[in-house]
Amino acid sequence: MSRATQPVARVAVPGTVAILFTGGTISMKYDAAAGGAVPALSADEILEAARGIRDIAPLAPEQWGRYPGPHMTVEKQWALRGRIAELLADPAITGVVVTHGTDSLEETAYLVARSVASEKPVVFTGAMRSASDLGWDGPANLVDAVTIAAAPAARGSGVTVTFNGRIFAALDEAKTHTHLLDAFESPGLGPLGVVDEGQVLFRRAVLSAALPLMPPVPATPVDLITAYAGADARLLDASRETGARGVVLAAMGRGNVPPEMVPGIERAIAAGLPVVITSRAQRGRVGMTYGYPGGGRRLAEMGCWFAGPRRPTQARVDLMLALGAGVALGEVFER
């Protein structure tokens, strides 16, 4: 992180909502030279556009960075997680809001949800349209996020994500559309609640989470490989040969892979790499239903781990955290 983007400590009065501005589309404007939207707006400029936001609660904004979503790395995510934890430990801070690029928001929010324990709310948000677009949604999303972070009803809700007036649990949300304003969903579960004319209304309980994983740093690299019709072992072998600490497989259906991938899985396990099975499907658990070559039953017998209902990106975060913390994988995954 550059010196210019390092967090600056601020004095907060009781009930303050901290806002970490990390970049993303909410900070972008069209740039003719670049031929598209690029980070341009400061924290103060975004706040100025969010009419009435300072009436909700005292604010402590920080210009943490100006990164597009795809520019976030594990190192940046972990540094951001550390700053969030610092703010949550401040007795004057009632909640933390994070603006973030939507392309990697679900991964960062999940990482924070799995590695930070606090009764205080942490709310991620951003924008699907830039400040140059008609209907820039950033200011409204930011107002909603601060409203949630300041609401007594949100205490104990953990890490959430808000877009388009809806509230999602970071443990189960996903970006499910490339550009629409309602791009975020919790597949198969729906939102936790809504923000309606300044009221925070929760409609369902937050699903209980496993104990948080708090390593000194996450283990990297952990690779994510997708199974597809005709896939073979080349990517698995490349991952093993180039120093991966573990592999997550986005398998087909219930947790099955083409038989041509099996030798690569066997070589990875023989080399000591954990292989975690997830599914390309957005809903449902992986399991040992099928016994044919490459089926879930055979993968379990080989020594693969199963991630239950977790999506591939979530399982990757959990594997990085578990390996970094030295936690037995049986405490995190299934066999």
Any idea which residues carry the catalytic annotation?
A: 25
Q: How many helices (H) and strands (E) does the chain have?
A: 8, 16
Helix, strand, coil percentages, rounded to 5, for the chain: 30, 25, 45
Residue 285 structure tokens: 């658990």
Q: CA 178: distance to chain centroid? A: 16
* CB of 128 closer than 8 Å to CB of 183: yes
b (16+ CB within 10 A) / e for 219-228: bbebbbbebe
Q: Which residues contact 54 (CB under 8 A, 6 or more apart)?
A: 47
Length of the chain: 335
- Whole-number Å distance between alpha carbons of 318 and 189: 21
Q: CA separation (Å) from 193 to 17, 19, 215, 302? A: 20, 21, 31, 42
Residue 212 structure tokens: 């948080």
Calculated CA dihedral for residues 192, 196, 199, 200, nearest 10 degrees? 10
* CB of 237 closer than 8 Å to CB of 263: no
Of 230, 40, 221, the residue nearest 138 (C-alpha): 40
Q: Give Rg (Cα) of the chain.
A: 21
- Whole-number Å distance between alpha carbons of 192 and 62: 27
* CB of 125 closer than 8 Å to CB of 168: no
